[in-house]
Amino acid sequence: MGKLPVAGLSVFCLVAGLTTSLWAGHKRDWAPGTIVAMKSSECGAHVSAGNSVLGTVLGTQGESAKRQVVLCKDYTLRTDSTIYTIRPKKQNADLLPVNAAVEFYIDKDKMKLRRADSKKQQEFMVLAELPATPAKTGN
């Protein structure tokens, strides 16, 4: 009677171990794509306050504040079926060259992307998604 719980525990451990090893060995399916364009777009502003004691007393401290526009890199990623507009999550992310072959996958609300010749991944936000039209041939 004492062997039944030990046998059940052994089977449980075996199944759990196999499941864990299979899950850890699961490889992502990276989809191929090409960066076809990059542009800078406004994505916020940085305001540096020009506060002074006199400005605080007179209520004019906001008038001397300096506003600087923050620019973000927006990329256009083309696949066979979809065109994505994406933006790096980190402001100082590596620059991707236009016409670079890339691989990506979408995980929940973010896109993980890497150059086809590299293992380094970057995280992107998907801003827009459109169906791709077939490339025109020069006739």
pLDDT one-digit tens code per residue, 94-135: 899 999 999 999 988 899 999 999 889 999 999 999 999 876
Q: What is the pTM of this model?
A: 0.65
> What dihedral angle (degrees, nearest 10) is formed by the CA atoms of 82, 87, 89, 95?
110
110 lies in some domain: yes
Residue 120 DSSP label: -
pLDDT by residue (tens digit) across 31-84? 999 999 999 999 888 787 666 565 555 555 555 667 888 899 999 999 999 999
Domains identified in the chain, total number: 1
Would you say residue 86 lies in a domain? Answer: yes
Give dist(CA 88, CA 85) in Å, integer. 11
Residues in the chain: 139
The domain in which residue 124 lies consists of 28-43+72-131
What 3-state class would DSSP assign to 86?
A: strand
| 101 domain residue, yes or no | yes
